């Protein structure tokens, strides 16, 4: 449906070019009308990551949602020119180099006792940001696992905190609260090397004297190839790299001076494929009226954040507002998707009608 709509849009665009003078830049026209959207986050345990493509709609005019369980993947292997590996930020994974370790099979639990106290998330230690990936979403040189070298011996062995399972009893979560973590998923020792244009990941439990290996190939249609150590296999997580704009997810963020912290109700945008966003705050008058009146001519290109996936982030809501849960009503967002299409977006709620978290709603329109 997206392809047909885009072809129609291109035909109209070409026709309109005859009315545009030579010194005016052409403007892409979004092939959708916009909609009110309820991302399938899954309730107060927030078990899902929801990848949304605003310009591709179903027969009901709803943008396509790709819904994946947060614990379905552990590592993402970058499919671009560099050899980078990311951790599953949504389940609080972390990784640190095991100093002096050259042979993954020789590492034992006793060798990492002190390191375990450091490779943590949300322990209010400012130093622990070094054990997680760059929260802005930048790749090269900004991941907990260093860029993978062509030389096997140059690739360290890592202690990996595998994060947490989903909370097992979501029905027990009180109205207005969330529970984003269940039991610890334990620890692994991991080493990543290269084989041609592919990756090889070696992994084992800490006291194992042998390890498993999995070959991971790049797929240029995607930002990452994802794997699960539970299934020892590649798993499907994100849509193709230009087929998603936003993701609703639990997110490991950084609080300046306090290290890492876990956020629910978080929204990231697809900066690796060129998506960008910025916030419009309305200081006086009706924010709804300002949103309704906002047009393509009002877009400020200089404000788009191309280097930070948190342009929306958690800024749209306050879970500890003066009256409890608070949806900020003085702001909305402008998004440019990977194809250069522009949208305006505002949030309508962060809970279900009965007050349960994990049921957000937003609306958007093309510009």
pLDDT at 268 over 80: yes
Dihedral of CA atoms 33, 41, 130, 102 in degrees, nearest 10, equals -110
Stated pTM of the model: 0.88
The pLDDT of 198-223, averaged and rounded, is: 97
pLDDT of residue 31: 54
Residue 311 has pLDDT above 60, yes or no: yes
H-run or E-run covering 274: none
How confident is residue 290, by pLDDT bands cut at 50, 70 and 90?
A: very high
- pLDDT band of 124, cuts 50, 70, 90: confident
pLDDT value at residue 322? 55
Cα–Cα distance, 350 to 178 (Å, whole number): 12
Provide mean pLDDT across the span 352-364: 93
- Percent of the chain clearing pLDDT 70 (strictly above): 90
Give me the pLDDT at residue 125, please: 86
Task: Tell whether the model's pLDDT for residue 2 goes beyond 60.
Answer: no
* Cβ neighbours of residue 203 closer than 8 Å, sequence gap 6 or more: 160, 188, 189, 190, 191, 211, 212, 213, 214, 229
pLDDT score, position 324? 57
Which bin fits 145, alpha (ψ -120 to 50), beta or left (φ > 0)? beta
Confidence label for 321 from pLDDT (cuts 50, 70 and 90): low
Least confident window among 158-162, 313-317, 332-336: 313-317
Residue 348 · residue 338 · CB < 8 Å: no
pLDDT for the residue 5: 43
- Residue 223, classified by CB atoms within 10 Å of its CB into exposed (0-12), middle (13-18) or buried (19+), is buried
Task: Identify which of 206, 20, 186, 12 has the alpha carbon closest to the alpha carbon of residue 109.
Answer: 206
pLDDT tens digit string along 218-239?
Answer: 999 999 999 999 999 999 999 9
What pLDDT is stored for residue 6 in this prediction? 40
Structure tokens that stand for 2 in this block: 């997206």
Q: pLDDT confidence of 323, banded at 50, 70, 90?
A: low
**Quick one: average pLDDT of 229-258?**
95
How far, in Å, CA of 224 to CA of 126, rounded? 29
Residue among 33, 72, 78 nearest 56 (CA): 33
Average pLDDT over residues 70-96: 97
* The token pair that represents 214 in the structure block: 């999995």
Tally: H helices and E strands in the chain: 3, 20
- pLDDT(101) > 60: yes
pLDDT, position 80:
94
Q: What is the pLDDT of the chain when averaged over all its residues?
A: 89
Q: By the 8 A CB rule, do 191 and 158 touch?
A: yes
What percentage of residues in the chain have a pLDDT greater than 90?
77
Query: What is the tens place of the pLDDT at every residue in 7-54?
Result: 334 333 433 333 323 333 344 445 567 789 999 999 999 999 999 999
């Amino acid at each position: 449906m997206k392809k047909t709509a885009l072809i129609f849009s291109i035909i109209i665009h070409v026709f309109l070019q005859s009315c545009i003078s030579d010194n005016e830049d052409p403007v892409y026209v979004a092939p959708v009308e916009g909609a009110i959207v309820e991302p399938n986050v899954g309730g107060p345990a927030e078990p899902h990551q929801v990848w949304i493509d605003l310009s591709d709609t179903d027969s009901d005019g709803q943008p396509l949602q790709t819904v994946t369980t947060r614990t379905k993947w552990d590592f993402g292997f970058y499919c671009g020119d560099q050899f980078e590996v990311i951790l599953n930020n949504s389940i609080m994974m972390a990784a640190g180099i095991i100093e002096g370790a050259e042979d993954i099979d020789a590492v034992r639990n006793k060798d990492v006792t002190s390191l375990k106290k450091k490779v943590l998330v949300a322990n209010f230690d400012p130093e622990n940001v070094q054990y997680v990936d760059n929260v802005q979403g930048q790749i090269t040189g900004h991941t907990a696992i260093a860029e993978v070298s062509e030389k096997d011996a140059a690739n360290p062995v890592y202690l990996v905190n595998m994060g947490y399972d989903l909370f097992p009893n979501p029905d027990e979560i009180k109205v207005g609260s969330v529970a984003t973590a269940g039991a610890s998923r334990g620890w692994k020792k991991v080493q990543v090397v290269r084989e041609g244009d592919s990756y090889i990941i070696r992994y084992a439990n800490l006291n194992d004297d042998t390890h498993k290996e999995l070959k991971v190939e790049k797929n240029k249609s995607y930002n990452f190839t994802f794997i699960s150590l539970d299934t020892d296999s590649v798993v499907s997580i994100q849509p193709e790299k230009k087929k998603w704009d936003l993701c609703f997810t639990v997110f490991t963020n950084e609080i300046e001076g306090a290290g890492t912290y876990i956020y629910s109700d978080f929204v990231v945008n697809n900066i690796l494929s060129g998506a960008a966003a910025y916030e419009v705050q309305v200081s006086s008058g009706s924010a709804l009226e300002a949103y309704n009146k906002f047009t393509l001519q009002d877009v400020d290109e200089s404000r788009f954040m191309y280097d930070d996936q948190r342009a929306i982030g958690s800024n749209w809501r306050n879970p500890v507002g003066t009256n409890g849960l608070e949806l900020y009503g003085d702001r909305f967002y402008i998004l440019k998707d990977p194809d250069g299409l522009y949208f305006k977006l505002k949030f309508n709620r962060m809970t279900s009608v009965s007050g349960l978290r994990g049921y957000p709603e937003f609306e958007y329109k093309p510009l």
